[in-house]
């Protein structure tokens, strides 16, 4: 039995409950991909908006493939607890903005009814980059099984694009205004990616519909950020013991959150600025700052910290040498390459990142940060390195991060222990990484991971030198040596 009740809370100052009548909340948003991140991020913003009396933006969740924690959520009327953890304090936020949760594989008709309802004005997405059915070149993936099914069976969609295009076709046919498609995935220009994918898929079925979508459907880009580590049995027990909150589907998050959203909507917009969302004309510079500083630094501290023997980011950041490495990486190498949006305090943002990385109550595993390196490094760290090389800016710490990734890909740490690596290109990259100390050029020639860097002979020599430094000195001493003198090119 699940129990989330204000009457049971020991300390009402640390447990917040919905202050509104959920029966008055109407479902203005369908959200596809009801992940822990969505529930800790967009769900909390929308809950707070309802707490201000704005009752038009409740959420109906849809799971396309799996509907994680659905049964638990349904059993507790779709309410759930967010355990928000700062460095020195825990708070619980019980969220009521999720009104229903549909498992599309067995509730297709209900999912389509929600998507075609006139009440639905926004369809938001957290389906990861893989959910859009596009390949590395940004085109529809001809090998995507779900897309191929939906092309042959448009009345029985399985994919994200199949559901979006079918529901937009039905809305057009019935004279219902289209919804805004709001991507909240951590991919480059997520709104543009969603637009290209939806329009391209629609064009394969109906040129007229594709043209109508291009003219009438809005696809704003957004920047989202909140660390949400996995929930464990210990977390559930803590909620019960410390807060008298028993929840079958709790979410854990840090106390920081960010949402930057382009003001491009076609059927009304929730007034999210009332609850701290930053509404902008162009999210591009903010996206660049976030990905280069947050995600790029995550990559660097992930590989360097893991090789130094640490297993959590807060443990690595407690080491003055590694904290200094991350701080210098941001200040002396990455920041030189970033835009300066009007009113954005870059120095304060970097201080916040250091605090977040150091939060012991979150304890983000370094192995999570190290996963999918062949996807993350080209998106978050290597672009800074490429620009620094082109512009003649310092890049020794960036190069050391790449060397640490290469050493990590080899599959053993400096104590000889095996590393469990999760990477779609591991079979291709690992044998090349193991030979990179002799010659990194074959590894750099894997364009899907390294892009144009494979053509830069100077960088190949610098990377070889950095790998030698790691092997000769060990990872921590290599970090200590990095700021003191330029990386020597090995003969």
Q: Over the stretch 397-451, which tens digit does the pLDDT of each residue have?
A: 999 999 999 999 999 999 999 999 999 999 999 999 999 999 999 999 999 999 9
Look at residue 121 and tell me whether its pLDDT is greater than 80: yes
Give the per-residue pLDDT at 361. Answer: 93
Domains, the chain, ordered by start: 6-280 (3.40.50.720), 284-481 (1.10.1040.10)
Contacts with 410 (C-beta within 8 Å, 6 or more apart), sequence order: 430, 433, 434
Contact 373, 409 (CB under 8 A): yes
HSE at residue 207, side-chain half, CA atoms within 13 A, is 0
Contact 137, 42 (CB under 8 A): no
β-strand partners of 14: none
Q: Over the stretch 357-405, which tens digit does the pLDDT of each residue have?
A: 999 999 899 999 999 999 999 999 999 999 999 999 999 999 999 999 9
Contact 247, 15 (CB under 8 A): no
Contact 321, 422 (CB under 8 A): no
Measured between alpha carbons, how far is residue 52 from residues 15, 98, 123, 271 in Å?
Answer: 18, 16, 22, 11
Residues 288-310 have a mean pLDDT of 98
Closest by CA to 274, choosing from 43, 27, 25, 46, is: 46
Residues 252-267 have a mean pLDDT of 97
Instruction: Read off φ and ψ for residue 165, nearest 5 degrees.
Output: -70, -40
Instruction: Report the distance separating Cα 45 and Cα 15, nearest Å.
Output: 16
**Token digits of residue 32:** 């596809």
Beta strands 80-85 and 251-254, pairing class: parallel
Look at residue 128 and tell me whether its pLDDT is greater than 60: yes
Q: Over the stretch 53-82, which tens digit does the pLDDT of each residue have?
A: 999 999 999 999 877 789 999 999 999 999
Q: What is the mean pLDDT of the chain?
A: 94
Q: What's CA 53's distance to the chain center, in Å?
A: 30
Instruction: Report the distance separating Cα 272 and Cα 184, nearest Å.
Output: 14
Looking at 81-182, list the stretches that DSSP marks H as alpha helix, in order from N- to C-terminal side: 108-116, 145-152, 160-174
**Token digits of residue 483:** 């700021």
Q: Please return the burial class of 203, using the count of CB atoms within 10 Å of its CB with bins 0-12, 13-18 and 19+.
A: middle
Q: What's CA 113's distance to the chain center, in Å?
A: 29
Q: Over the stretch 139-198, which tens digit does the pLDDT of each residue have?
A: 999 999 999 999 999 999 999 999 999 999 999 999 999 999 999 999 989 999 999 999
Contacts with 215 (C-beta within 8 Å, 6 or more apart), sequence order: none
Which 3-state string (H, E, C) describes 332-358? HHHHHHCCCCCCCCHHHHHHHHHHHHC
Per-residue pLDDT band for 486 (boundaries 50, 70, 90) equals very low
Instruction: Report the distance separating Cα 148 and Cα 159, nearest Å.
Output: 9
Q: What is the DSSP string of 382-449?
A: HHHHHHHHHHT---HHHHHHHHHHHHHHTSB-TTS-B-----TTHHHHHHHHHTTTT--HHHHT-HHH
Give the per-residue pLDDT at 352. Answer: 98
Closest by CA to 424, choosing from 455, 441, 446, 403, is: 446
Give the per-residue pLDDT at 4. Answer: 58
């Amino acid at each position: 039995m699940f129990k989330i009740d204000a009457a049971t809370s020991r300390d009402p100052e640390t447990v917040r409950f919905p202050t509104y009548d959920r029966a008055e909340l109407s479902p203005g948003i369908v959200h596809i991909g009801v992940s822990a991140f969505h529930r800790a991020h967009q769900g909390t913003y929308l809950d707070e908006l309802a707490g201000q009396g704005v009752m038009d933006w409740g959420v109906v969740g849809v799971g396309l493939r799996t509907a994680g924690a659905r049964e638990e959520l349904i059993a507790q009327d779709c309410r759930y607890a967010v355990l928000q953890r700062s460095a020195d304090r825990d708070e619980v936020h019980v969220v009521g903005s999720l009104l229903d949760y549909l498992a599309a594989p067995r509730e297709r008709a209900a999912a389509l009814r929600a998507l075609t309802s006139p009440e639905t004005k926004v369809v938001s997405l957290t389906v990861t980059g893989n959910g859009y059915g596009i390949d590395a070149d940004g085109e529809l993936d001809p090998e995507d099984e779900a897309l191929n099914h939906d092309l042959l069976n448009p009345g029985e969609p399985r994919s994200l694009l199949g559901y979006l295009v079918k529901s937009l076709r039905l809305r057009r046919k019935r004279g219902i205004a289209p919804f805004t498609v709001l991507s909240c995935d951590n991919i480059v220009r997520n709104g543009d990616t969603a637009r290209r994918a939806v329009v391209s898929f629609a064009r394969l079925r109906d040129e007229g519909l594709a043209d109508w979508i291009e003219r009438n459907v809005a696809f704003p880009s957004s920047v989202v950020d909140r660390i949400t580590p996995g929930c464990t049995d210990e977390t559930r027990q803590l909620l019960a013991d410390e807060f008298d909150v028993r929840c079958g589907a709790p979410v854990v998050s840090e106390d920081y959150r960010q949402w930057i959203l382009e003001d491009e909507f076609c059927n009304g917009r929730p007034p999210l600025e009332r609850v701290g969302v930053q509404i902008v004309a162009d999210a591009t510079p903010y996206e660049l700052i976030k990905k280069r500083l947050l995600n790029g630094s995550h990559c660097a501290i992930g590989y360097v910290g893991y090789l130094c023997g640490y297993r959590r980011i807060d443990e690595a950041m407690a080491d003055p040498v590694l904290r200094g490495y991350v701080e210098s990486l941001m200040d002396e190498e990455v920041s030189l390459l970033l835009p300066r949006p009007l009113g954005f305090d870059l120095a304060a943002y970097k201080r916040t990142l250091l605090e977040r990385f150091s939060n012991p109550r979150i304890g983000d595993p370094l192995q999570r940060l190290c996963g999918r390196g062949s996807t993350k490094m080209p998106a978050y760290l290597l672009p800074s390195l490429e620009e620094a090389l082109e512009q003649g800016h310092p890049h020794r710490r960036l190069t050391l991060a790449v060397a640490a990734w290469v050493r990590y890909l080899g599959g053993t740490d400096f104590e000889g222990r095996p590393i469990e690596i999760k990477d779609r290109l591991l079979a291709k990259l690992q044998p090349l990484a193991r030979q990179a100390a002799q010659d990194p050029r074959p590894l750099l020639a894997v364009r899907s991971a390294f892009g144009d860097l494979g053509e830069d002979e100077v960088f190949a020599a610098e990377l070889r030198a950095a790998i030698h430094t790691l092997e000769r000195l060990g990872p921590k001493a290599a970090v200590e040596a990095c700021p003191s003198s330029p990386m020597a090119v090995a003969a």
